[in-house]
Amino acid sequence: MPKAHLVFTHFENFYNVLVPNLEKLSVEKIKELENFVSLRNGIFDFETYSFVIQKRLEFYEFSALINHLGMDATVQERLIVKETEPRVGFGQYKGMQYNELPNSYMLWLKTNYRGFDKDKIDKELQKRKL
């Protein structure tokens, strides 16, 4: 059985973890990941094979936590190069860059937002392949 491959991305107020090999994992391993996320009040999005947890956590802390829990997984860090990106001008994420928003919120914006920043949102969605 393959082990989970976790790609950790740190943002300002949360972290996002992509599980690119989710379809290849056993039901038990998927349940283990779901339990990990739910215990931390996170959201697992099966459409994007990722989960988001609203907590400041560095990669080394995440990796140590996975090892401490005895989860059979490989952990990789994805670094985000900070560029001057457009910032959100509304809602709970006001002031954050669009590339820092959680996938779950981006998917919500995709179907619910019709404002002046729609083109910026669509560009970020395309970049993330959501």
Full residue range of the structural domain in which residue 112 is found: 83-130
Please check whether residues 16 and 74 belong to one and the same domain. yes
pLDDT at 50: 94
Q: Do residue 74 and residue 96 come from a single domain?
A: no
The model's pLDDT over 4-43, given as tens digits with 9 standing for 90+, comes to 999 999 887 788 999 999 999 999 999 999 999 999 999 9
Q: Is the pLDDT of residue 81 over 70?
A: no
Tens-digit pLDDT profile for residues 94-121: 888 888 899 989 999 998 988 888 888 9
Number of C-alpha atoms within 13 angstroms, CB side, residue 128? 26
Token representation of residue 78:
């994805």
According to the model, what pLDDT value does residue 117 have? 85
CB neighbourhood size of 39 (10 A): 10
pLDDT top residue among 83 and 20: 20
* Domains in the chain, number: 2
DSSP calls for 27-60: HHHHHHHHHHHHHTT-EEETTTTEEEE-S---HH
Query: What is the separation, in whole angstroms, between the first and last Cα of the chain?
Result: 28
